[in-house]
């Protein structure tokens, strides 16, 4: 063992570790991404090729039995799609009735979307962050919302030249101002202990008298300027009482299967977009000794569009 410590290899190792540590500390303190961008330039195109190759079904290479199987599967899918078309027309009719009630406008047309493919998944992140194949050159910037046709997925937290890192809504770093359009109740969607286990989230700060029931649709409020208003987050699966205070929370199952998402859209711009940093958990503090009366009085939240901002103001008020 002593010979190892005297060897040249050990000295080289020490020097390399020292240099690497210096780079690491320098990058951490200055926020420099030179090395990341360098690796991004090499590895992103390779990952894109991998994803493209995987995405194509080579029919000519299939055996007869495989083709038969595929044919059967397509028939089944066709049947399902026809049923969905019928359902779609029914829903369209329903929607046209609701549109007048909710005064929904054609605001979504103003969104600027960029389609992207997931090229890499973080294997060891409990909150399922991933990398997409669009970066600075495609007009992506930090805090852009990431969605699919089913609903909200997350936000862009790091942008490189040809790729970007996406933090999902399952992460503790993201709290979302959310509401039930149906019952006009507001809360904050955030992580809880079951998120890591089954991918569900919770809608916090509901009162005991909440009208929210199972299958209630939860959407974004648009507060904070990160997410546009009305983005689908998920549906309520159950309601429970908080252990630490008298408020209630709803467990939400996200519409998007975040672990399996492969194609996403990035909202690069929308009319209400404001360049604000993401609301962190530190931004929201709720008094743990909040009484039920105080909670009821917090129905002001319902009239306020910005739940997270309200929490900020409360915090500020307490400080004063």
Residues that bind other proteins (CB under 8 A): 1, 3-4, 7, 9-10, 12-13, 16-17, 20-21, 23-24, 27-28, 35-36, 39-40, 43, 46-47, 50-51, 54, 118-126, 129-131, 157-158, 165, 172, 191-197, 259, 262
C-beta of 49 vs 75, nearer to other proteins: 49
Which of 193/288 has CB closer to other proteins?
193
Three-state DSSP at 171 gives: coil
Number of H helices, E strands in the chain: 8, 12
CB of 68 to other proteins, least distance (A): 24
Q: Are 7 and 131 in contact (CB under 8 A)?
A: no
Q: Give, in order, the Cα–Cα distances in Å from 219 to each of 30, 100, 188, 252, 256.
A: 37, 19, 11, 11, 13
Q: Considering the complex, what minimum distance in angstroms separates the CB of residue 204 from other proteins?
A: 13
Nearest CB to other proteins, comparing residues 231 and 252: 252
The residues, ordered by sequence, that sit 6+ positions from 289 with a Cβ below 8 Å of its Cβ are: 245
List, in order, residues 6 or more apart from 108 with CB less than 8 Å away. 228
| Smallest gap from residue 20 Cβ to other proteins (A) | 5
> Which one, 10 or 98, has the nearer CB to other proteins?
10
In the complex, least distance from residue 131 CB atom to other proteins, rounded to whole angstroms:
7
Residue 70 CB, shortest distance to other proteins, in Å, is 18
Question: Quick one: 98 or 126, whose CB is closer to other proteins?
Answer: 126
Strands 145-148 and 151-159: antiparallel
**Integer Cα distance of 167 and 158 in angstroms:** 9
């Amino acid at each position: 063992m002593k010979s190892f410590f005297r060897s040249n290899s050990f000295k080289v190792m020490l020097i390399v570790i020292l240099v690497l540590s210096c780079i690491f500390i320098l990058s951490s303190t200055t926020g420099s991404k030179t090395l990341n961008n360098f690796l991004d330039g090499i590895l992103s195109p390779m990952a894109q090729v991998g994803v493209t190759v995987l995405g194509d079904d080579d029919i000519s290479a299939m055996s007869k039995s495989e083709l038969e199987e595929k044919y059967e599967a397509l028939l089944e899918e066709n049947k399902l799609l026809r049923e969905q078309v019928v359902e779609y027309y029914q829903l369209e009719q329903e929607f046209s009735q609701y549109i007048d009630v909710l005064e929904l406008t054609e605001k979504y047309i103003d969104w600027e979307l960029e389609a992207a493919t997931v090229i890499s998944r973080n294997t060891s992140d409990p909150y399922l962050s991933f990398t997409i194949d669009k970066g600075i050159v495609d007009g992506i910037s930090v805090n852009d919302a990431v969605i699919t046709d089913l609903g909200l997925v997350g936000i862009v937290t790091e942008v490189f030249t040809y790729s970007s890192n996406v933090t999902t809504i399952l992460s503790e770093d993201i709290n979302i101002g959310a509401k039930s359009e149906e019952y006009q109740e507001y809360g904050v969607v955030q992580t809880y202990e079951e998120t890591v286990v089954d991918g569900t989230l919770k809608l916090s700060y509901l009162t005991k008298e909440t009208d929210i029931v199972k299958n209630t649709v939860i959407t974004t409020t648009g507060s904070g300027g990160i997410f546009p208003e009305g983005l689908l987050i998920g549906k309520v699966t159950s309601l429970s009482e908080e252990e630490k205070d008298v408020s209630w929370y709803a467990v939400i199952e996200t519409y998007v299967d975040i672990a399996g998402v492969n194609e996403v859209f990035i909202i690069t711009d929308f009319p209400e977009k404001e360049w604000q940093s993401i609301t962190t958990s530190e931004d929201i503090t709720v008094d743990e000794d909040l009484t039920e009366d105080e909670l009821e009085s917090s129905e002001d939240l319902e009239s306020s569009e910005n739940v997270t901002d309200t929490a900020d103001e409360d915090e500020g008020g307490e400080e004063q």
